[in-house]
Amino acid sequence: MLAIRCILVVIDPNHPDSLALKRAHLISSVSQSRLHLLVCDNKHDHGAYLESLRERLTSEGHQVSVQQAWHENLHQTIITVQQAEGCGLVIKQHVPDSPLKRALLTPEDWKLLRYCPCPVLMVKTDTPWKGRNILAAVDVGNADLEHRTLHATIVSHGYEIAGLADGQLHVISAHPSAMLSAADPAFQLKETIEARYREACKRFQADYDIPDTQLHIEEGPADALIPRICHQLQAAVTVIGTVARTGFSGALMGNTAEVVLDTLESDVLVLKPDEIIDHLEELVRH
């Protein structure tokens, strides 16, 4: 993440004390990334406000560009600008929709997580990251190459953020309940399932020096366990992957990243496999 050259920061003039800008300021101070500030609006002119932000940040040593734009809806505007500017990270403050609105319409932040071809940092709190725990959520039960690569990316980003924040990296993986009818004997007992999951974590534990005390392998659904462990650790950031499921299956099943977005008590960094990023970039181009 610290190798990113340009960060897209979504600015909401209705929230002048921008949490997204605070996080972007922190990351840019270390990575020396250019900041591209974006207001998504086609009704009011925010040029003077954006220029004041640009002048302030420039005076603090940041390289800054600003833009106001609108393309049909919020998430398409963000993605169009992200592609045009070559931004490697999008930072946006998350404001949850009401349960009624969420039941009727897919939230714009969910659509951004699904369709954005680069990592998205959803900022939820103004709590400083300094000295706090960072939680990386992986699903080591999926052991195909795509998932293994995604796991390594998630842990790597968590490790970088922990270094940036001078905090500790913790890793969680939820495992299924034991089933006596399972064809594989390893999935007939809770102890053997947990042992298999711990074995799958050993490689990235060694690569990133993660002790067993900071590895959490627990039984249950990921969308319940991740917020619980995040709360117990008082984590500042949760790093999670998404397969960007769309269409009817996405509406029916949801993605873990989307489901936990409102329940997590931390900022949320969402990553995707490279293959899905390539596919999304192709969709954007066409």
What's the CATH number where 40 sits?
3.40.50.620
- Stated pTM of the model: 0.88
Domain count, the chain: 2
> Is 230 domain-assigned?
yes
pLDDT averaged per 10 residues, the chain (length 286)? 87 86 93 95 93 95 96 94 95 81 77 91 94 93 75 92 95 76 54 83 89 92 93 96 55 66 94 72 69
Distance (Å, rounded) from C-alpha 211 to C-alpha 169?
Answer: 10
Q: Does one domain contain both 238 and 140?
A: yes
**Residues sharing a CB contact under 8 Å with residue 200, sequence separation 6 or more, in sequence order:** 140, 143, 173
> Is 13 domain-assigned?
yes
**Most distant CA pair in the chain: distance in Å?**
66
| Residue numbers of the domain that contains 40 | 6-93
Nearest Cα to 158, choosing from 236, 212, 221?
236
pLDDT score, position 105: 74
Q: Does one domain contain both 166 and 41?
A: no
> Is 168 domain-assigned?
yes
Distance (Å, rounded) from C-alpha 147 to C-alpha 144?
Answer: 6
Q: Quick one: tokens of 113? A: 């997580």
Q: Does one domain contain both 145 and 209?
A: yes
